[in-house]
Amino acid sequence: MPRVALIQQAATADRAANLARGLAALDEAARGGAELACFAELAFEPFYPQRPAEGDVRALAEEVPGPTTDALSLKAKKLGLVVVANLYERDGDEAYDTSPVIDADGSLLGKTRMIHITEYACFHEQGYYTPGDLGLPVYETAAGRVGVAICYDRHYPEVMRALALAGAQLVCVPQAGAVGEWPEGLYEAELSVASFQNGYFTALANRVGAEDCLTFAGESFVCAPDGRVLARSPSGEDHILFCDLDYEEVERSHAQTLFLRDRRPELYGGWLA
């Protein structure tokens, strides 16, 4: 029964200070008994897409592995803690919204890149991110089989089902969700349904704090495979949300015992086949 910690922290233009606060939060998560910690989207840097991209924005990004993942790996190994992070990654001439996944021994298991890239007011992401090209891996970690759906990707049922078919017990969702961006309760309802339909836990770690043109809401939460919301963070403040997961609930969920069993993939075609 792993305990997860969702780290909900504001970020400033001082990337070194943001990372230092994130590493301190991992210490606190470990003291609280967590076996896995998940950060929000772009946890250690400003939310760049608030403004349209100007110039070579790739200069804002870093490689993976690189300085941030090196620091997180050292901390993960010291604490025996699985870490799901999120940062702006540069890989050659491309840049991605990327979640590195680090196991409890400090090893970098891999990275998930956001697949779907949006574009609208204060979320000018298409000028910053290349669509992800690494698929939807599920990582065998010390805290279970973990998949990642980065922010916008969680809106796509194909993503959430693909992670179920790959055997995820937990799907972490690093998000940058703003105050007033959605009707109250909608995002919880969305992931409650995804958890129920796919038979896994979902854990959404949201950004928090006032920035350039957005105020991020916080309100991180965890959903069970039966659709219940198990735990919530407050709005508008830094917070670490702890939640215990019972993976036996995955095995006995309706999705695992009924829905996935009774699929008709020969009729669906495409990605869901």
Contacts 24+ apart (CB under 8 A), 153-160: 153/114, 153/115, 153/116, 154/190, 154/191, 154/194, 154/204, 155/116, 155/190, 156/115, 156/116, 157/194, 157/197, 158/271, 158/272, 159/115, 159/116, 160/194, 160/197, 160/198
Reading the block at residue 271, the tokens are 């990605």
Output the average pLDDT for the chain: 96
> Which CATH number goes with the domain that contains 255?
3.60.110.10
Total of domains in the chain? 1
pLDDT of residue 4: 99
Q: Which domain holds residue 39?
A: 3-272
Query: Per-residue pLDDT tens for 242-253?
Result: 999 999 999 999
Q: Which band of pLDDT confidence, cut at 50, 70 and 90, is reported for residue 63?
A: very high
pLDDT of residue 183: 81
pTM of the model: 0.97
pLDDT of residue 43: 98
pLDDT of residue 62: 97
Query: Per-residue pLDDT tens for 149-203?
Result: 999 999 999 999 999 999 999 999 999 999 988 788 899 999 999 999 999 999 9
Mean pLDDT (whole number) for 90-108: 98
Mean pLDDT (whole number) for 228-255: 98
pLDDT of residue 182: 77
